[in-house]
Amino acid sequence: MPGVKRIELVVVAGVVVSLPSITEAFNGGITVATALVRLALGLLVCGAVGAIVERTIDTYAREARQKEIERRVSEAISSRQAYWSRGVDGREGPPPSV
């Protein structure tokens, strides 16, 4: 399934979704071919839903990481400005040039 990192979860979900069809096939209620088609459709649907959920989570996680990076950069800039405003030896102004 393209776009899904955890394919094993998609397979498990597809099997769980089509489990009633599998039991009906064993009991003789439907043919094995019908049960396999339902399993394939379950895998496709679970793969599509998994890709959508994964993309949504990745988008929000990326935005959260970007906000955290911006916060840390602004924090570092303000810390640097505070350091240079008081000077290395505690006096106001930039450090003396050597």
Crossing angle of helices 32-86 and 19-27, in 10° steps, is 160
Q: Tens digits of per-residue pLDDT, 18-64?
A: 988 888 888 888 888 999 999 999 999 999 999 999 988 888 898 88
Residues near 55 by beta carbon (within 8 Å), at least 6 away in sequence = 3
CA distance 5 to 32: 30
Q: Which residue has the higher pLDDT, 97 or 16?
A: 16
- Would you say residue 95 has pLDDT above 70? no
Contact 6, 47 (CB under 8 A): no
Report which DSSP code applies to 96: P
pLDDT attached to residue 26: 85
